[in-house]
Amino acid sequence: MDLVHREGLARVGKFSTPHGVITTPTIMPVINPNLRILSIDEMKKMGMEAIITNSYIIRRNENLRTHAQEKGLHDLIGFNGPIMTDSGTFQSYVYGDIEYGNLEIVDFQEQIGSDISTILDIFSVPEDTHEKAEKAVMETYRRMNEVTTERKTIIAGPIQGSVYNDLREKSARLMSGTLAGYLPIGGVVPLLEQYRYGKLCEIIINSKINASFNKPIHLFGGGHPMFMGMAVLLGVDIFDSASYVKYARDGRMLFQEGTRDLKEIIEFPMWSPLYGKYTARELKEASLDVRTRELARHNLFTIFMELKEIRERIYEQTLWQYVEEKSRAHPSLYAAFRSILKYGEKLEPFFELYRKPPLYYFDELTEMNPYFTRLKKFRSIFIGSGEKVSYVPDGAWQPSRLSSRFISEHYEKNSNPYLIKWMGIEVPVELEEAYPVEQVIDVMHYEEGFADDPETVEKSEGERVRNFDLEKIRALCDFQFGIGTGKIVFPPETEIVKSRATGRIRTISLNGKFLATMRAHDGFLGLHIEGGKRLQSVSKYPENRIVVDDESADYNARGYNVFRKFVVDFDPNIIPLNDVIVVNSKDELLAIGRSMMSGIELATYRSGLAVSVNHHTQERGQA
């Protein structure tokens, strides 16, 4: 699984199969080999890249089995792209034991040419006791371990565990350590049908963060567009669904925010493939076969339309905002979004240092998102306990502006920490320009405006005891690279150059050598080589480092990007898009760049871009 673009746990990725590459996030429409509602060509035009069908059904039907064995699964289905096959687990749950064993059905899937083959796992339901669910987890793991050699087909090892978070964590870890190259989350259809999205979010989170990031996460049966954005936000890569047909048979239409009955529809939306082809009345009066086919076309189109929106949101890095907005569309979604926020500390390490767009503040729930969690965690460490703090007076600060009078007459003559009361939390004033403090958009921008230098700030007595600009870059360094690094990287004699036009810090030097720049778009530090050397001197190996092997070291020293397959060690606390030091195994500095992955992800990814190099120690032409 190669990472293309990201926002937190959400990712646009590329997953290679024997019959082509799947771009994620996406959905595999369920194809019943006995019954075709929509043609393959119709689905491909909507964006379909892969499908899922049931090997158990194929094996039980003599005609289907013979065709698949003689000419292959892809010829049977009439599709030359990636095909995943299920094993009959659900049928086993519904009807009792089936007539085939685990290895027997895996062998059959491989024999007919399935790209992704599923083991015969044990289906758990929400009503199962912890003891019963744990037995299912262990039996599924045992069956996965029956697959002892690499195969032509990719093996899917489902993550089970019912509603028990500890079992989902356990199952995710166990399955990640096997030959499974694909990790579906199973046993969730009853939760989807009951709109228990909050519990489902917990299951996804605990499965995802304990699974290998090198393998796709598939949510079995999770194909309703109203929940897909939330699922992708938590790390789901691939869905499958027969809902587009099931809802059509019941006369129901899928929309991005929910489901509606055809009987209640007056007009079709202009984006629907039904628009201009039928009026709502005409489709209501059509035959059952026609109505089912046309509603299935609308439903699948809606699903792919939502997936395209989700992918675009990941590229924009606005998926969190999209999900937060959309969570207000249904009480179950709102409850689920609140349950996500309880996992703020677990989610925070995966979220980037900054995003391209501003942060939208909606209400008090926004104060629980991962960026706020990160700020609150830093504030508690940066300020410490028992130390007296002061607060920036009302009017002395607004986003993009801190009163110069407050700095010169108050901050610089007082050694106490100063905090901004910002969006319901308290933030060190030195982070005033850092994401998301300055980059927030809320009602204040439109109702209160910006204040002039306040007359209410009392002048502090005494001499100047500190320099605000120096303290700002030190605090940013502490935030990005660890408490205590700021004073070493930026000693008192540090030279700071500010923009004449904006008054903002631009370059930071020491003895005529650049240490860092302060980026305008996010307010954070971009290290240069000399700054990296000073950070390296204060950081214990492998803190703030990505270590590459000898094969890659010379290339990286000349400015070429770092790829994951050449990484041999790293700081597990790295957060995405933060600067890192690139070194060789002797801890010799090679380059400075932005990490594309978190430290946790680096532990399991095996390929993809690891560091985008910005500065390097050798010229391109050097050997």
Task: Give the number of other Cβ atoms within 10 Å of residue 493's Cβ.
Answer: 8
What does the DSSP 8-state code read for residue 393?
Answer: P
Note if the bond before 357 is cis, omega within 30 degrees. Answer: no
* Beta-strand relationship, 238-241 and 26-29: parallel
* Beta-strand relationship, 183-185 and 545-548: unpaired
Return the exposure string of 265-280: e unless at least 16 CB atoms fall within 10 Å of the residue's CB, then b.
beebeeebbbeeebeb
Nearest to 525 by CA among 487, 589, 479: 479
Tokens of 221: 């049966």
Residues facing residue 12 across a β-bridge: 5
CA distances to 33, 35, 41, 294, 589 from 75, in Å: 11, 16, 14, 26, 55
478 included as an active-site residue: no
**How deeply is 57 buried, as exposed, middle or buried, from its count of CB atoms within 10 A (0-12, 13-18, 19+)?**
middle
- Residue/partner pairs of 566-569 with CB below 8 Å, 24 or more apart: 566/610, 567/602, 567/610, 569/542, 569/545
> Which one is catalytic: 2, 75, 86, 289?
86
Q: Which helix (H) or strand (E) holds 468?
A: helix 468-481
What does the DSSP 8-state code read for residue 606?
Answer: -
Task: Give the number of other Cβ atoms within 10 Å of residue 608's Cβ.
Answer: 20
CA distances to 203, 209, 335 from 331, in Å: 19, 26, 6
Q: How many CA atoms lie within 13 A of 367 on its CB side?
A: 10
Question: Is there a contact between 576 and 350 (Cβ–Cβ < 8 Å)?
Answer: yes
d(CA 319, CA 312): 8
Which positions are annotated as active-site residues? 86
